[in-house]
Amino acid sequence: MGKIVVALGGNALGNNPKEQLEAVINTAKPIVDLIQEGHTVVIAHGNGPQVGMINLAFDTASNIPNMPFPECGAMSQGYIGYHLQNAISEELRRRKVNKNVATVITQVVVDKNDKAFQNPTKPIGSFYSKEEAEEQAKKTGDVFKEDAGRGYRRVVASPLPVDVVEKDTVKTLMDAGTVVITVGGGGIPVYVDGDKLIGIPAVIDKDFASAKIAEILDADYLIILTAVEKVAINFGKSNEEWLSKMTIDESKKYIDEGHFAPGSMLPKVKAAMMFAESKSGRKALITSLEKAADGIAGKTGTIVIK
């Protein structure tokens, strides 16, 4: 049995509070499967739709001060964690597994000079038509980009994680047997200024943050969950091929050949590579939520190894 960090994709959470409350009931089941098998499980998750929704609500509300983006990230961590920990706790009780579940509001250190701040790429919030996006951009000064043929979304910087501020707290809870929900939405981005931690408007990719906390916790496995069972090359083409295993060198080759979409599979593959490269014997698994336990058992999914 091993230590596992599970990175939940957006499809595990839904797009609004009502959808999320329903989605997490199903999300909890495969997570508790892993716990019941004896694994130590730490959970990370995205927050793109949620943080965008919170930010937009404050932007459009009258007579309410504008809410800084790091605080919007903290709010999203809190309410997503609240839903997840209740759903997982309920499933554990239903199966008579005696485990506590806790959400840690987590800050993640970034480099304030990261080049990502010069080129915002991380989509958040709702989809807009081109006209609506142009109107919003004029009104707010935000940057909007087209997102995978689905419409236009606001984009913010996505710097790389350097460190996790609450890592010792997460480790203490994990070692005590608690199921920990951490680095929600990639963590609240902060930079170090002397003795201070200063919040900075950005969204850290949750897959990279998951790889960082998995590395810090000396996890055996990083499971990056997505909408598909395996990673594919030549996706959607006649010569489409689903992969059961990728080495670091093979992954680099496929990235260079342009097989993975930047807003979709590319960050997942890169995060898997980061974790697999961080120490000998570490494995990353990319698969769907429903297949997580089968993937750990070697029956499906795409394993990324050194």
Amino acid at 58: F
- Pick from 16, 24, 96, 19: which is nearest to 51 by CA? 16
- The pairing of strands 188-193 and 179-181 is unpaired
Residue 124 has a pLDDT of 76
Question: Greatest CA span in the chain, whole angstroms?
Answer: 56
- The pairing of strands 179-181 and 122-128 is unpaired
Residue 301 has a pLDDT of 96
146 has which bridge partners?
A: 152
Residue 156 has a pLDDT of 87
**Rounded Cα gap, residues 40 and 244, in angstroms:** 24
Residues of the chain with pLDDT under 50: none
Residue 199 has a pLDDT of 96
**Rounded Cα gap, residues 192 and 110, in angstroms:** 8
pTM value? Answer: 0.89
Active-site amino acid positions: 10-11, 122, 206, 268
